[in-house]
Amino acid sequence: MKPIALIGMMGSGKTTIGKQLAKELHLPWHDSDLFIEQTTHEQIKDIFATKGEAYFRTLETRALQTLLTFPGILSTGGGIIIQKENREHLKNNAYVIFLEASIQTLVTRIDDQNRPLLQNEPMEQKLRTLYDKRESLYRECAHDTIKTDHKTVEEIITLIKQKLPQ
């Protein structure tokens, strides 16, 4: 079985849903951002601050290529779909689910202190800008989309389980 990859904006629930889904399906859980932090021994925000976004995106592509060789559930970083190579790799090597959430929902869920891309601009405005740039990219590589607004973790997991290929 191919890995199940969760994509979507920061705050859409990729980590929370990924951990619980892995537990319920008795599969390993992986997180691309956590993998990067563990392999570089640096926090994402520090990588952005000292080496820049382009360097981080290179690390992210390498992490994705590695993590998609493992079975299980993969929670990805919100910007993983920016690189065309990553979108193709996801679509071809995983069952990809876009966890879609409204900007209003994202604002209520996000702590912007640990989000490098949300610094120096009002959060809602920055989220809207990011979402407008990324929405079509999420849809391009997703096999399914689940709207997470006003749903519990359990409801979202039930929807995912219903959509999984048999």
What is the average per-residue pLDDT within 132-147?
A: 96
Is residue 134 annotated as involved in ligand binding? yes
Is residue 115 annotated as involved in ligand binding? yes
Is residue 72 annotated as involved in ligand binding? no
Is residue 16 annotated as involved in ligand binding? yes
Please say if the pLDDT value at position 142 is more than 70.
yes
The domain locations on the chain are 4-163
Please say if the pLDDT value at position 50 is more than 80.
yes
Q: How far is CA 129 from the centre of its chain?
A: 17
What is the average per-residue pLDDT within 140-152?
A: 95
Please say if the pLDDT value at position 126 is more than 90.
no
d(CA 83, CA 54): 10
- Kindly report the number of other CB atoms within 10 A of residue 101's CB atom: 24
Is residue 78 annotated as involved in ligand binding? yes
Is residue 109 annotated as involved in ligand binding? no
What is the average per-residue pLDDT within 19-25?
A: 97
Is residue 18 annotated as involved in ligand binding? no
Average pLDDT of every residue of the chain: 91
User: 4-163 has which CATH code?
Assistant: 3.40.50.300
Please say if the pLDDT value at position 1 is more than 90.
no
Residue 100, token pair as written in the block: 């879609």
Single pTM value for the model: 0.91
How is residue 121 annotated by DSSP?
A: S
Percent of the chain whose pLDDT exceeds 90: 77
pLDDT at 113: 46
pLDDT in tens, 106-119: 888 776 545 555 55
What is the average per-residue pLDDT within 142-158?
A: 96
Please say if the pLDDT value at position 85 is more than 50.
yes
d(CA 52, CA 119): 14
